[in-house]
Chain A
């Protein structure tokens, strides 16, 4: 039970980073931390006590317990999605620096109202 609560604490740490930091790169890092904590949470759901990795080995004995393979496939896809999101955020951050000459989000507020 403790490990699930620690995952949630990591999620809140990332959320704190997104909400309170003023530098654009720190906001992106906060978002990445939130993604990592969710991938970790998903993997821990599939764990069964005393299970082995879910790869069929024909030379072993019968009645061997495997951990749940479905969260592992889901997390693989979620990591790829996180990669695409981060890459796009960084590209937009680079172009923002070229236009506004600063990374400070207080100074980047051209759109109001």
Chain B
């Protein structure tokens, strides 16, 4: 089992470099290669989570054993949180890869698209399985550079400008992260994450660690598009081709932004009170400002992109509440509950935000426009798209029995029990405003009267419908994860790797 861990990186990289060599020989089959590889990895990730949920698998690359208890070489570490993130990345990667097969027929240069897509998935897989700081930086750069090229794929005016803004801000973020890494190496002279956590346990919390943590918040906050670092997100996520928007908003901002923040702040550094106040404040601001900016949008994908900021604010606020309670030495169970809600909401958001972006792509494929003022009455001509879009909209607004309701409920209950009444009230108000903006989308796009010339719009091809139907079924099935029996197998290993459940 241990030796299968590098396959998560080998298989997408191998497919990415195989396609330019053989795409002329098998011109219609090479599009299915990335999806097949990612399906195999999805099954493997599921097996790893179910077979050993709470244990940690460690794999030493190159076979370098530790010398006198000092680790040398790169270790690949898969624990509960990494296994859950692997499932989400490969799931959305597989479904977006299937969706892209008919969608990309409208673009030229399809073989480059699948090469970059496989590279992006390889990079994201690498970020979550590695246990070494600089290795994480290298895989982060691989996935982020592929996403810069994918955002600019169609070469229209909007896409190029959005990609340029994304690249400059992303480049500054990577440099800030590298600077924090350099100071960490200077302070501890090792790069292994578990070794650094042992060394920092013995040293008191001092100015150097707070300096490093502030730079890490700035760098990873720019990658995860939290307020005030969000300026690139609406342009980049709305101008990209739709399967790429689903991948960017569904997994990229989580795997390289939120996952890295949680891993470094819970496992590597010790939680301090000042940093946790900063994180909670950023979370609350993202939640509120994201949804206020989202209501006034008339472009469908831009509205969804602003909602991504708001939902990520939920996750960061829940993590911040857990950190405040741990730093002040309060009731551990409330911290565990809050972090459970935050992680559950992160997984749910991948599923329903991916579905929303795929719906927007279907609308654009069928009608050619994304502006809400030009659309109307699409529920008669696009039945699958409008049904799945209704499911996703109810899910993001938090209506039972969809999965968004349960995760938001857990976060609000944890906030009330920890006596953060104002934060719970803000969470409820933001949820109501989210419901209002999605009712606006449903009314203008799907429920009005059909405009002129609209009767010759056909339903989208079968492979695109397949992805959307599977995602909406998952929206309903994932709400079962809140039941105590199933929760122990699927959700608690992730929480256990950040805050240890026994103690």
Task: Enumerate chain A interface residues (CB-CB to B < 8 A).
Answer: 11, 15, 18, 24, 27, 31, 34-35, 38, 41-42, 45, 70-71, 74, 77-78, 81, 84-85, 88-89, 92-93, 95-96, 99-100, 108-111, 113
Structural contact, B185 and A96, CB atoms closer than 8 A: no
Given contacts A38-B178, A41-B182, A100-B157, whether A85 and B171 have CB atoms under 8 Å apart is: yes
Interface class of chain A by DSSP = helix
Residues from chain B with Cβ under 8 Å of A111 in the complex? 158, 161-162, 234-235, 238-239
Residues from chain A with Cβ under 8 Å of B148 in the complex? 88, 92
B160, CB-defined interface residue at 8 Å: yes
Given contacts A34-B175, A38-B179, A111-B162, whether A88 and B186 have CB atoms under 8 Å apart is: no
**Closest A residue by C-beta to B166:** A92
Please measure, in the bound complex, the distance between the C-alpha atom of A41 and the C-alpha atom of B148, giving whole angstroms. 27
Structural contact, B157 and A99, CB atoms closer than 8 A: yes
Nearest-neighbour CB distance to chain A for B272, whole angstroms, equals 24
Given contacts A34-B172, A34-B175, A111-B239, whether A24 and B138 have CB atoms under 8 Å apart is: no
Chain B stretch 151-208: residues in CB contact (< 8 A) with chain A: 152, 155, 157-158, 160-164, 167-168, 171-172, 174-175, 178-179, 182, 185-186, 191
Nearest-neighbour CB distance to chain A for B267, whole angstroms, equals 22
The 7 closest A-B pairs by CB, nearest first: A81-B141, A111-B235, A45-B186, A42-B182, A99-B157, A96-B160, A31-B171
Residues from chain B with Cβ under 8 Å of A100 in the complex? 157
Interface class of chain B by DSSP = helix
What would 12 more interface pairs be, CB under 8 Å, given A42-B185, A81-B145, A85-B145? A11-B179, A18-B168, A81-B138, A81-B141, A84-B141, A92-B152, A95-B160, A96-B160, A99-B157, A108-B164, A111-B239, A113-B297
**Closest A residue by C-beta to B138:** A77
Residues from chain A with Cβ under 8 Å of B134 in the complex? 74, 77
Structural contact, B168 and A31, CB atoms closer than 8 A: yes
B345, CB-defined interface residue at 8 Å: no
14 contacts between A and B (CB under 8 A): A24-B164, A27-B168, A31-B172, A77-B138, A88-B167, A89-B167, A92-B163, A95-B155, A100-B157, A110-B157, A110-B158, A113-B234, A113-B297, A113-B302
User: Which residue of A15, A45, A77, A99 is within 8 Å of B160 (Cβ)?
Assistant: A99
Nearest-neighbour CB distance to chain A for B375, whole angstroms, equals 18
B58, CB-defined interface residue at 8 Å: no
Residues from chain B with Cβ under 8 Å of A18 in the complex? 168, 172
Structural contact, A35 and B302, CB atoms closer than 8 A: no
Number of interface residues of B (CB under 8 A): 35
Please measure, in the bound complex, the distance between the C-alpha atom of A100 and the C-alpha atom of B149, giving whole angstroms. 19
In the complex, per-residue mask of B223-250: 1 if CB is within 8 Å of any chain A CB, else 0: 0000000000011001100000000000
Residues from chain B with Cβ under 8 Å of A24 in the complex? 164
Residues from chain B with Cβ under 8 Å of A70 in the complex? 185, 191
Nearest-neighbour CB distance to chain A for B50, whole angstroms, equals 36
**Closest A residue by C-beta to B133:** A74
In the complex, per-residue mask of B419-439: 1 if CB is within 8 Å of any chain A CB, else 0: 000000000000000000000
Structural contact, A96 and B167, CB atoms closer than 8 A: no
Nearest-neighbour CB distance to chain A for B218, whole angstroms, equals 12
Residues from chain A with Cβ under 8 Å of B191 in the complex? 70
**Closest A residue by C-beta to B140:** A81
Structural contact, B182 and A38, CB atoms closer than 8 A: yes
Residues from chain B with Cβ under 8 Å of A45 in the complex? 182, 185-186
**Closest B residue by C-beta to A8:** B179
**Closest B residue by C-beta to A34:** B175
**Closest B residue by C-beta to A41:** B182
Nearest-neighbour CB distance to chain A for B223, whole angstroms, equals 14
Structural contact, A93 and B164, CB atoms closer than 8 A: yes
Residues from chain B with Cβ under 8 Å of A95 in the complex? 152, 155, 160
In the complex, per-residue mask of B281-322: 1 if CB is within 8 Å of any chain A CB, else 0: 000000000000000110100100000000000000000000
Please measure, in the bound complex, the distance between the C-alpha atom of A81 and the C-alpha atom of B167, giving whole angstroms. 13
Residues from chain B with Cβ under 8 Å of A110 in the complex? 157-158, 161
Residues from chain A with Cβ under 8 Å of B157 in the complex? 99-100, 110
Structural contact, A96 and B164, CB atoms closer than 8 A: yes
Please measure, in the bound complex, the distance between the C-alpha atom of A38 and the C-alpha atom of B105, giving whole angstroms. 42
Query: Which of A31, A78, A89, A100 gathers most chain B CB within 10 Å?
Result: A78
Nearest-neighbour CB distance to chain A for B150, whole angstroms, equals 11
**Closest B residue by C-beta to A30:** B168
